[in-house]
């Protein structure tokens, strides 16, 4: 068993050990990892790292002490709200990631419904089967139920099915931009209308799309309106540590108005230390993550995000064309950076195992069985190599046995 060393170990030795420990990790720089990483170039990484280190010790819990962080957070939130068609009434805050943003949106929606509808039963979230498990996690932790509705043939959420599932106990309806499994954008306008008709909170999970969809749309992608431009949208989660390209530990949670925003906060004074208030689930927050988000957003600006988005979209199109040629058509019509593809005639689990043996970390989707990619610039130079290896692995693999299934791990 490992115990704390009796004496400390010198940094040069530890540095070597740290380098050595990563030797067998997947080669994300070489484009071998289908998700987890959002790389936009060494220059962007350097800005994020330098900014992070400059505010490494400062704590986002203590905005009273660190006016710098308060300013960075306020600027980040304003930039986000402008991008997502906010107005003078819209509000928001930074959190440490998509899951935290979703937890806090669920908490705010639940508390508002409980206040407005005294005597209601177990609060429910209604969402499509493709919505992220962070909602189920939040529901499990906070005592809500989740009702998942079937998808339409194009893998988008079905507004009619969502409308039909809303009950007097529904406290939140969810739409995704895009949903993680197939990368398709849900019809937010229609879902928001169904929510509004029942007086229910509508959350848009743009954890993946928040910082890529606005630029993709300007570049001509066919993306329906999804943000505060849509009446009935109450809150939006949008992750900076995904397509904002900043340091991990950064997301934004945005609200239609002051009242809904207030539900994100939590106040307590029943202990000997007086008042305790946070907007976040966590207490201490890495000042570095806040500073890095501010620095990267200002470093890239609109032009930088557009340039990177164009390259990510081109890579997705190249992969779509290449995989279709191999007999693996894309599921649905993804407009952003995620794509899933497969075919009943190809044993994707067995092909995936061969790809793994060739050094690729393989992402799978289970319904229908296929492959899954969330793209970034590391994939751009290796798309051709990936397709060549995929063609070889398909040629080496016998057709699927009847009833074969795929297990997809995150
Ligand atoms: C659509 C969607 N929502 C939420 C999340 C959760 O984000 P995080 O892993 O930052 O908690 C993810 C993660 O991939 C996602 O794809």
Q: What is the pLDDT of residues 167-188, one digit of tens each?
A: 999 999 999 999 999 999 999 9
Tell me the C-alpha distance between 136 and 144, whole Å.
Answer: 9
Kindly report the number of other CB atoms within 10 A of residue 1's CB atom. Answer: 2
Domains and CATH numbers, the chain: 48-297 (3.40.640.10), 303-396 (3.90.1150.10)
Q: How far is the CA of 172 from the centre of ligand 1 (A)?
A: 18
Counting beta carbons within 10 angstroms of the beta carbon of residue 34, is it exposed (0 to 12), middle (13 to 18) or buried (19 or more)?
Answer: buried
Structure confidence at residue 400 (pLDDT): 81
Counting beta carbons within 10 angstroms of the beta carbon of residue 199, is it exposed (0 to 12), middle (13 to 18) or buried (19 or more)?
Answer: exposed
Structure confidence at residue 403 (pLDDT): 59
Structure confidence at residue 73 (pLDDT): 98
The residues facing 91 across adjacent strands are 255
Kindly report the number of other CB atoms within 10 A of residue 367's CB atom. Answer: 15
Would the CB of 35 count as within 6 Å of ligand 1? Answer: no
pLDDT band at 404 (very low <50, low <70, confident <90, very high): low
Mutational pocket test of ligand 1: of 33, 99, 249, the residue with most ligand atoms within 8 Å of the beta carbon: 99
Would the CB of 132 count as within 6 Å of ligand 1? Answer: yes
pLDDT tens, residue by residue, 81-137: 999 999 999 999 999 999 999 999 999 999 999 999 999 999 999 999 999 999 999
Structure confidence at residue 399 (pLDDT): 85
pLDDT above 90: percentage of residues in the chain: 96
pLDDT band at 406 (very low <50, low <70, confident <90, very high): low
Residue 191 parent element (H or E) = helix 188-197
295 in helix, strand or coil? helix
Mutational pocket test of ligand 1: of 96, 204, 206, 239, the residue with most ligand atoms within 8 Å of the beta carbon: 239
Would the CB of 99 count as within 6 Å of ligand 1? Answer: yes
Structure tokens, 347: 């044993």
pLDDT band at 402 (very low <50, low <70, confident <90, very high): low
Q: What is the mean pLDDT of residues 198-221?
A: 98
Determine which residue's CA is closest to atom 16 belonging to ligand 1: 180
Structure confidence at residue 166 (pLDDT): 98
pLDDT exceeds cutoff 90 at 408: no
Kindly report the number of other CB atoms within 10 A of residue 344's CB atom. Answer: 12
The sign of the CA dihedral 342, 346, 350, 354 is negative
């Amino acid at each position: 068993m490992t115990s704390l060393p009796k004496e400390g170990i010198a940094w040069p030795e530890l540095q070597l050990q740290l380098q050595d420990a990563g030797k067998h990790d997947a080669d994300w720089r070489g484009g071998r990892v289908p998700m987890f990483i959002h790389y936009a170039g060494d220059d962007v990484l350097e800005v994020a790292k330098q900014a992070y280190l400059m505010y490494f010790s400062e704590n986002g819990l203590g905005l009273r002490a660190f006016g710098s962080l308060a300013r960075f957070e306020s600027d980040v939130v304003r930039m986000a709200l402008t991008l997502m068609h906010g107005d003078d009434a819209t509000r928001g805050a930074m959190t440490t990631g998509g899951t935290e943003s979703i937890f806090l949106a669920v908490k705010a929606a639940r508390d508002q419904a409980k206040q407005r509808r005294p005597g209601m039963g177990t609060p429910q979230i209604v969402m499509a089967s493709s919505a992220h498990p962070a909602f189920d996690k939040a529901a499990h932790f906070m005592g809500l139920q989740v009702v998942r509705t079937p998808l339409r043939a194009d893998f988008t959420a079905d507004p009619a099915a969502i409308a039909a599932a809303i009950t007097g106990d529904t406290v939140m309806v969810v739409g995704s931009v895009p949903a993680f499994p197939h990368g398709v954008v849900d019809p937010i306008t229609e879902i928001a209308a169904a929510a509004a008709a029942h007086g229910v909170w509508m959350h848009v999970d743009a954890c993946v799309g928040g910082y890529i969809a606005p630029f993709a749309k300007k570049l001509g992608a066919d993306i329906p309106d999804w943000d505060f431009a849509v009446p009935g949208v109450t809150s939006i989660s949008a992750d900076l540590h995904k397509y904002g390209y900043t340091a991990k530990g950064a997301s934004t949670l945005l609200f239609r108005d002051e009242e809904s925003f207030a539900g994100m906060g939590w106040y307590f004074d029943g202990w000997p230390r007086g008042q305790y208030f946070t907007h976040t689930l966590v207490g201490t927050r890495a000042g570095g993550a806040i500073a890095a988000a501010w620095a990267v957003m200002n470093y890239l600006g609109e032009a930088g995000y557009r340039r990177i988005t164009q390259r990510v979209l081109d890579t997705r199109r190249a992969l779509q064309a290449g995989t279709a040629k191999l007999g693996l058509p894309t599921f649905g019509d993804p407009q952003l950076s995620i794509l899933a593809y497969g075919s009943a005639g190809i044993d994707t689990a067995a092909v995936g195992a061969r790809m793994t043996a060739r050094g690729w970390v393989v992402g799978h989707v289970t319904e229908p069985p296929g492959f899954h990619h969330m793209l970034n610039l590391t994939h751009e130079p290796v798309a051709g190599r990936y397709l060549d290896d995929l063609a070889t692995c398909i040629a080496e693999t016998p057709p699927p046995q009847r009833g074969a299934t795929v297990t997809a791990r995150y």
